[in-house]
Amino acid sequence: MARETAQVPTGNGARYLQQLCKHWSHKLDVQSSDNEGIVRFPNAIATMKADDDKLTVTVEAEDGETLERMKGVVASHLDRFAFREAPLLFQWVKG
């Protein structure tokens, strides 16, 4: 499994992850709470955790190509919900 994590600076991470989880829950397996969310895609898993000043996003996928695609999907959807402060800063780190 390929895996990368980004710590995205924002004070609104909890709101964004809740909106994103609700959005995807109509078609995907989603688990969420106030500050954490897990979205299971067909070939990937996105995990999000909100703190006061950042949103930590981890994407795991079957291979590197799928990982790159899914990082883009997650980032673009978060930017839509964070339109007031978009584009959010995603600095992806392997591991």
Tens-place pLDDT, residues 9-57: 999 999 999 999 999 999 999 999 999 999 999 999 999 999 999 999 9
Global pTM? Answer: 0.95
Confidence of residue 95 (pLDDT cuts 50, 70, 90): confident
Cα distances (angstroms) measured from residue 14 to each of 47, 64, 91: 13, 28, 19
Rounded to whole angstroms, the Cα distance separating 33 from 14 reads 9
Cα distances (angstroms) measured from residue 20 to each of 13, 71, 85: 10, 14, 16
Q: Which residues pair with 57 in a beta bridge?
A: 6, 48
Cis peptide before 9 (omega within 30 of 0): no
Name the CATH superfamily, with its identifier, for domain 2-86: Alpha-D-phosphohexomutase, C-terminal domain (3.30.310.50)
Inter-residue contact 91 to 30 (CB < 8 Å): no
